[in-house]
Structures are given as C-alpha cells and as structure tokens.
Structure 1
Amino acid sequence: MPHEHHRSPEPAGADATVVGEEYWDTRYRESDKVWSGEANAVLARETEGLAPGRALDLGCGEGGDAVWLARRGWHVTGTDISGVALERAAVHASDAGVDDRTEWERHDLAESFPAGEYDLVSACFLHTFGEFPRERILRRAAAAVAPGGILLVVGHAGWASWQQDRPEIDFPTPDQVLAQLELAAGAWEVLLAEEHVRAQDQPDGRPGTRTDNVVKVRRLP
C-alpha cells in the first residue's frame, strides 16, 4: 500500500473492541516492513513550499512522513501507539542521516498527547477500529499549532473500491472534519478542504481506486 501509513483501518479480522498497543505491535511484527517508507503523497504536496520549523506527526508508523520532513530541514516529533513502529522509525531516521532532527514518543492519543507547539501538525489516515476519540484528538492537534502554523488532516472518505463487508467506521467529509475541529472564528484560515480519488492497486495486483479527503488550515498569526 504505497504512500499510506498511520492508523489506516485495513487489517482483516480485527476485533473492534481490543485495538490498542498490543494489536498494533503484533501487526508490525508480522512483517519486516508494513508501509512503503515513502511520504504520503498529499503531505509531500501540501508541505513542499512551507518554511521548515517544528513538526508533529501523529500516528507516524514507521516514520515515512517524519523522515521526509526531516530531510527538508524540519525538526520532527513522531508519535505512535506502537513501540515496534517507533523503533523502526528511529532506524529509518538514522539510516537517512536525520536522527538529530527527529524524536519519537509513544502515545496512545486517546490517553496522552505530545507537549509543545508546532509549525506543522500532521494527522494522516488517523483511523482505527473500536473506540477512538478522533474528533477530540484532532481538536487537541489544532490546539498544538503555533500562530502562523498549519494543521493538515488527511483521511479516507470510505472503504476502497474492492472492499466489501467491512466494519462500520466513521469516515467524515471535509466539511464534517472542519466542524469537528471547532476552530475559533477569525483565528483560522481554511486553505484546502476537498475529496479526491486516487488509484490504488488491490492486494491481488489489479487496479482499484480509493477516495480520500484533505483538510488544511492555518492558524492566523
């Protein structure tokens, strides 16, 4: 699954009541590499022209986005619920020569959140099974954006074209994400709120499609 990582709800047979650290650690241990190691395409596009500063990557997985940002001069804090994923992210950063611009923190975002303010807060595919307070987490993400900084939220708009009989998971529209963020009037600028269809190969290699959405907002100075 290229250019996609984080809390994307893909695994078959998940028990929707017990998705947590142990579940994600087990999932990462099932293979040497779960994700492509490349940055999410939307993050790369939407941050390419930003001046580097401090960045927070929520649900960083094996570190593809964080390392991409660090290579471009950002100082990045990556956080994930899986210690296994974070260990791999640290190795990825070291191999890329950016371990001095990256740090890794284990958080169950339903329970704790990294401290500080950031010029960029990214939440890419922050979905999961079971009880998950995504709206509250995204509001906390907005609160962590420094004046003049960017919040980028990328998510699925639904299951992929070939997926059937999947569990019920809330896939909010861009307008719903904006409403859920509860941004203070006059304090934010909406730069982007849209859905887009992208090509994604099915597990058997046949072509398929997936609809995603992106919300990009800027806290006014």
Structure 2
Amino acid sequence: MTTDDTRTASAEEFWDTRYATANRIWSGNPNTALVRETTGLVPGRALDLGCGEGADAVWLARQGWRVTAVDVSAVALGRAAGHAADAGVGDLVDWQQHDLSVSFPAGSFDLVSAQFLHSPADLPREQVLRAAAEAVAPGGVLLVVGHAGPPSWDPGHHHALGLPTTDEVLASLELPSGHWEVLVSTEYEQQLTGPDGRPGTRRDNTLMLRRLPV
C-alpha cells in the first residue's frame, strides 16, 4: 500500500491489508521493554493497546494477568486469539476490536501498556495516550514504549511519523501535578538484524509512570 493509499484507507483497512500479507508479521516474542519493566509487578488487570498478533497479551496472561487486548485489525485479533488458545491462556484474554481514534475500552487497569503505538494510518497518538493514562487505576502503572529514531539500515524510515522523546510524551499526557510518579524515563539502543541479514541498531525509548494512590 502506498503513502497515498494510507491517507485514504481507514486504519482498519490499512492494518487488515498489512496482516493479510503473511501468516505472521511480528516475531511472536513479547516486547523486550514490557518484559523488563513489568517482571516483578503483582499481576492484576492489564490493558494492551495495539496488541497486534498477541505476543505481549499472551506473555502477560502467562504471568497471571487478566488482559484486555485491543487492536483495530480483525485479522490480527483472530490470529492473536489462536495464539492464546494454543498457549493455554485463552480464558485470560479479552480480545476487543477498537479504532482508538473513535472508541476506547471501558474499565480501569493495574497496567496499561502501549508498545510502539505508531501508525502510518490515522492515529491521534497523544489523545489515545491521554485516554490510556485515565484508564490506569490508583497504584497502577502506564508503560509507553516507542521508537526514538529510524533503524540504521533505513534512515528515512518513519520520516512521516512523530517520534517524541519521553519528556515530550510526558508533557503531552497533561497529567495533574502530584498524582503521578515517574518510574522509568530512558532512551536505549537495540541491536537488531536488518532485512539484508546484517547487524544494525535502532533507538527506542521507555516511559513508565505510576498513578499514586488517592
């Protein structure tokens, strides 16, 4: 799908088409930052925004979390539900289809995770992340992980997307003073393998906040 097509297609159409190109788009492994930052948390209710093929939701369910996993793509959600069933945790995950620019899952959560919530299709990311913060229960955490720059093998990749720093993400959340605690705010470099099989790098960032108990 070209850039012009992306502008005219709905988010659902764009991502359904993307997922339909292959039996698996992502690695099937949970995101490294999710594992690193949430290991040791007491499992409760988790919300996984942009769950894709479900690797993060399945991992969280295996740790004992009850997960609400959200994506705009019905193709991705169907695939994710199959992975959860295969892993024996299908009863711990509630798969919900939402275009987050239009609707947001109800409820409050002990963990809200937004992993690489970037999209070439229309996505009001700041608005979605503010809604994510509102969904965090007192004492719960918000985890936002994003790309900080393009991969080394493709410097122009993501050129049309905003890739904010953690400070910019924090400011955009417009959180009330004294109600939140910053647990993690960092940028880091990942070692990756490029599409040509050669090693490369890319920089990502992590912001993790705790909502203070009332």
Is the shorter-chain TM-score for this pair beyond 0.5, marking a shared fold?
yes
Report how far residue 19 of structure 1 moved. Answer: 5.2
Show CA shifts across 1:130-161 (max 9, x none). 43210010000000000000000000001111
Instruction: Give the match for residue 177 of structure 1.
Output: 169
Change (3 A) 1:182 1:113: same
Q: Secondary structure at the match of 1:140?
A: helix
Q: Secondary structure at the match of 2:104?
A: coil
Change (3 A) 1:163 1:19: farther
Instruction: Give the match for residue 196 of structure 1.
Output: 188
Instruction: Give the match for residue 102 of structure 2.
Output: 111
- Quick one: distance in 1 between partners of 2:32 and 2:121? 27
Letter in 2 for 1:150: V
Change (3 A) 1:118 1:87: same
Instruction: Give the match for residue 205 of structure 1.
Output: 197
Q: Secondary structure at the match of 1:67?
A: helix
Instruction: Give the match for residue 117 of structure 2.
Output: 126
Contact 2:11 / 2:122 at 8 angstroms: preserved in 1? Answer: no
Report how far residue 23 of structure 1 moved. Answer: 1.2
Report how far residue 164 of structure 1 moved. Answer: 3.7
Report how far residue 60 of structure 1 moved. Answer: 0.1
Alignment coverage as a number of residue pairs = 210
Q: Give the one of 66, 73, 80 matched to 1:82.
A: 73
Q: Secondary structure at the match of 2:169?
A: helix
- Quick one: distance in 1 between partners of 2:91 and 2:74? 19
Identity among equivalent positions (%) equals 60
Cα root mean square deviation, aligned: 1.2
Correspondence 1:61 to 2:52 = yes
Contact 1:19 / 1:129 at 8 angstroms: preserved in 2? Answer: no
Could you list the runs of 5+ residues in structure 1 that have no partner in the other structure?
Answer: 1-11
Instruction: Give the match for residue 187 of structure 1.
Output: 179
- Quick one: distance in 2 between partners of 1:163 and 1:181? 30
**Scaled by the length of structure 2, what TM-score is found?**
0.95
| Structure with greater helix share of residues | 2
Contact 2:98 / 2:104 at 8 angstroms: preserved in 1? Answer: yes
- Quick one: distance in 2 between partners of 1:117 and 1:207? 41
Show CA shifts across 1:95-146 (max 9, x none). 0000111010000001100000000000000001143210010000000000
Contact 1:61 / 1:85 at 8 angstroms: preserved in 2? Answer: yes
Report how far residue 13 of structure 1 moved. Answer: 3.8
Q: Give the one of 25, 30, 39 matched to 1:48.
A: 39
Stretches of 4+ moved more than 6 A in 1? none
Letter in 2 for 1:207: P
**Structure 1 residues 1-80: aligned runs within 5 Å:** 13-15=2-4, 16-17=6-7, 18=9, 20-80=11-71
- Quick one: distance in 2 between partners of 1:189 and 1:29? 41
Change (3 A) 1:130 1:31: closer
Correspondence 1:161 to 2:152 = yes
**Scaled by the length of structure 1, what TM-score is found?**
0.92
